[in-house]
Structure 1
Amino acid sequence: MFTLLKEASIYSPDFLGKKDILFCFDKIAAIKNSIDPSALDDVEVLDCSNKLIFPGFIDLHVHIAGGGGEGGFSTRTPSAKADEILKTGVTTVVGVLGADGVTRSVENLYAQAKQLEAGGLSTYMYTGSYQVPVVTLTGSIQKDIVFVDKIIGVGELCLEDHRAFQPTFDEIARIAAQTRNGALISGKAGLVHFHMGLGETGLEYLFRMMNETLIPVSHFLPTHVNRTGMLFEQACSYLQKGGYIDLTAGFIPSKEDPDCVASYDALKKLVDTGADIGRVTMSSDAYGSVPVFDGLGNVISSDTVTTKILFDELKVAIKEKGIPIETAISLVTKNAAGVLKIHKQKGSLETGKDADCVICDKDLNIETVFAKGIKYS
């Protein structure tokens, strides 16, 4: 019934100092300087005196039903498994379809979200895929958001990519309007989540949305914005004007891809320039394919990553780039919960919220994960 974590160094993500945390079933019951376990029946006590505790991580872009297929059926990637995700510290995921909205479907994505939920994760999802017009579960973007519990928005819509369905600005504006309306009725986030490719016009549509419509910028979340240096510079400008951006883990400059910006370098620049980090998130793009194309658009290689990459790169930001722990962790906790509008349950360690947390040693190695009060090691 009760779990008591004693004398932990707590990052909520703001640093709270050394405190005790009490879980009652799936909720945080109390956070105090000291909690006496003798007053509790049926309590498990964990000595966390040399541990750091963070809120459970939120990965808002995961191909939970698998991805890939741009190089034929042999390049399809498998679906995600709950135990594999949980051990990486991620306790909440948002499922997304990508380029393949044909052999995979919104129905398939929903079923996979329910399966992962049964395995201990908290799950949400976007309706649609790269495709425009958007293919939905109920036949309507608004109905999907209003009536389907897990659907919190639309995505990932593909822009500036040779795999895009070449949507016009007016089409994107109508999709955003439908999403906004569904969000108002349901009280959900109503995100329009954009996959950004290598095209030179980059975030042009999003700047136009900002200037030519009355739809609040909080409904738009472009991801992969550190794919190229040029796109990242646009993203910095978009952020400065009040927009929200999502960095992607896994973009490491190399001989084959020298122009991308690693997430930790992007975060370092944002911090150094005084950007509003509260509107920055970070996701893994896990279980999708990471294809490499030749000049003719043919796949020459394809790989995939897991959600482990998310905390791996945050640790680089903290240990090698000097980013404060609370700043780095906020991207996958408080900030993510805010943009997804699930901040009443997720994203910080506070009384009444879900008992999701990550317990690490002093070197930031994950030792134990709690998801809704259940322990996974």
Structure 2
Amino acid sequence: MLTLLKNARLYAPRAMGLCHLLIADRRIAAVVAADQGAPASGMAVEEIDLEGRRVIPGLVDPLVHFTGGGGEGGFGTRTAELTLEDALASGVTTLIGALGTDALTRTPANLLGKARELAAGGLTTYCYTGSYQLPPVTLTGSVGSDILFIPEFIGVGEVAISDHRGSQPSSFELARLASEARTAGMLAGKSGIVFIHTGDAPSHLEPLREAARDSAIPLAQFLPTHINRTPALFEDGLRFAREGGRIDFTTSTTAELLAGGEVAAAEAVARALQARVEPSHITLSSDANASLPRFDDQRRFVGLEPGRLASLFEVLGQCVEEHGIALEQAIGMASTHAAEALGLPAKGRLEPGRDADLLVLAEGEWAIDEVWALGRRVYHSG
């Protein structure tokens, strides 16, 4: 069955005006201006009139804790797994799963199984092998073979630097890890990205600079997240991006984190653009279902809240409605740039040949009316 979405006010992410989109075999087969008539006339086509509502690419989230996270305060502080229902309603159609602090009771096998569960529900899912600590936990015995032989594994992460919960890796260890992931990625046709959890220690992003400076690994092989968690880290992140690296802002937050100096994600995007950071070097991730822990001045755990997948769409709206960022530019932060950094060429754009992952936005408010994933409508607000 072919599906024709008529009269979509399309952001691909470039603003295209009123268009018709023809979907076939999970992908976009054609995009034509509405005034040129509908494609595939005379064929068996299911037609759906979107009546001028905005259509944007499905969101791409580089950091989701499919299997939950937390545990820093004991077993009673473990966060729950992501449910399919929450995922489908969030607007995120491509999710990359990771382990965090706990790679003992949560494993790469758990992560892969959960990824395939969500994929069976209609979403696109990938994973990072490894976790906060080095040497990394893997499924096959090495980072390289995980990336090479397991389709869902596209890189390694969430490796912790500048954080008391990490293994305090040296720049040499980081360079060796990035080399293994990069080479395996080249052999498998994947990015081999090294996704980095950045803590609030004064070293900030310096370990990544040292790894790149002392090796042939480019800065862009690393994608560090939580760059908006403290003012000092934020400023160091802007310098890192100007030096050629990519930076990722976390959209899930708490009142306590903001009161402690965290830069709200939408504000971080606006300030980064004002500072003339290359937009393609900025991504957003939700850190969904991770714990957002609170520690006292002795690094003792005092409480947590879970990250939320829906925060990615919410922050995209704040970028547009509160900070005046053009929708076509803001989409890049929540979809297109992550797809490019992660080596997912079918994602992040609504063009012929790309996957038919898209959001139909509500008229007159920042809300999702429909989510389409791989050519199927998987969520409707009604």
TM-score of the two chains, using structure 1 as the length reference = 0.96
C-alpha displacement of 1:40: 4.5
Structure 1 gaps of 5+ residues are none
CA distance in 2, matches of 1:269, 1:36: 42
Q: Residue type matched to 1:293 in 2? A: F
* Alignment partner, residue 299 of structure 2: 297
| CA apart distance, 1:255 | 7.9
Report if the CA contact (8 A) 1:82-1:121 is conserved. Answer: no
The 1:77–1:252 alpha-carbon spacing in structure 2 relative to 1, beyond 3 Å, is closer
Per-residue deviation, residues 138-167 of structure 1 (Å, max 9, x unmatched): 111111111110111110011111111111
Asked if 2 retains the 8 angstrom alpha-carbon contact of 1:19 and 1:32, the reply is yes
Q: Could you say which residue in structure 1 is the equivalent of 2:172? A: 170
- For the residues of structure 1 that align with 2:257 and 2:126, how far apart are their CA atoms? 37
Output the amino acid matched with 2:108: V
Whichever residue aligns with residue 356 of structure 2, its letter is A
State how 1:309-324 maps to structure 2 within 5 Å: 309-324=311-326
Instruction: Give the letter aligned to residue 334 of structure 2.
Output: V
Mean Cα displacement is larger for which, 97-106 or 34-43? 34-43
* Aligned equivalents of 2:252, 2:17: Cα separation in 1: 32
Distance in 2 between the 1:364 and 1:48 partners?
16
Partner of 2:19: 19
After TM superposition, the structure 1 = structure 2 runs for residues 355-374 of structure 1, keeping only pairs within 5 Å, are 355-362=356-363, 363-374=365-376
Amino acid at match of 1:179: A
Corresponding residue number in structure 2 for 1:306: 308
Q: Is the 8 A contact 1:13 1:333 kept in 2?
A: no
Map Cα deviations across residues 283-315 of structure 1 (whole Å, 9 max, x no partner).
Answer: 000011111112232221111132101111111
The answer to whether the 8 A contact 1:50-1:361 is kept is no
Runs of 4+ that moved beyond 4 A? 252-256
My pick for the range that moved more, 20-29 or 147-156, is: 20-29
Shift in Å, 1:218: 2.4
Q: How does 1:42-61 map to 2 (within 5 A)?
A: 42-61=44-63
State the secondary structure of the residue aligned to 2:140. coil
2:76 to 62, 71, 74: 74
Look up the equivalent residue of 1:23 and give its one-letter code.
I
Distance 2:149 2:368 in 1: 37
Amino acid at match of 2:362: D
Structure 2 vs 1, CA of residues 38 and 295 (structure 1 numbering), >3 Å: closer, same or farther? closer
CA deviations on 1:24-58 (whole Å, 9 max, x unpaired) are 13111110013437825443222222310001110
Structure 2 spans left out of the alignment, 5+ residues: none
**Are residues 316 and 256 of structure 1, via their aligned partners in 2, closer, same or farther at CA, if it must alter by over 3 Å?**
closer
C-alpha change, 1:371 and 1:40, in structure 2 (3 Å) is farther
**How far off its partner does 1:273 sit?**
2.1
Q: Report the alpha carbon displacement of residue 258 of structure 1 after superposing the two structures with TM.
A: 2.7
For 2:181, which of 175, 179, 182 is the aligned residue?
179
2 CA distance for matches of 1:166 and 1:333? 31
- More divergent stretch after superposition (54-63 vs 267-276): 267-276
Of residues 94, 98, 101, the one that matches 2:96 is: 94
Report the number of matched residues: 376
Could you tell me how far 1:352 is from its partner in structure 2? 1.1
Q: Is structure 2 residue 340 aligned with structure 1 residue 335?
A: no
For the residue of structure 2 that corresponds to 1:102, the secondary structure is coil
How far apart, CA to CA, are the structure 2 residues paired with 1:303 and 1:187?
A: 37
Partner residue in 1 for 2:283? 281
* Aligned equivalents of 1:318, 1:256: Cα separation in 2: 20
Q: How does 1:66-215 map to 2 (within 5 A)?
A: 66-215=68-217
Say if 1:202 and 1:38 are closer, same or farther in 2 by CA, change over 3 A.
closer
TM-score relative to the length of structure 2: 0.95
Q: Give the whole-Å Cα distance in 2 for the aligned partners of 1:79 and 1:32.
A: 41
Identical amino acids, percent of aligned pairs: 40
Greater Cα shift, 54-63 or 74-83? 74-83
Corresponding letter in the other structure for 2:270: K
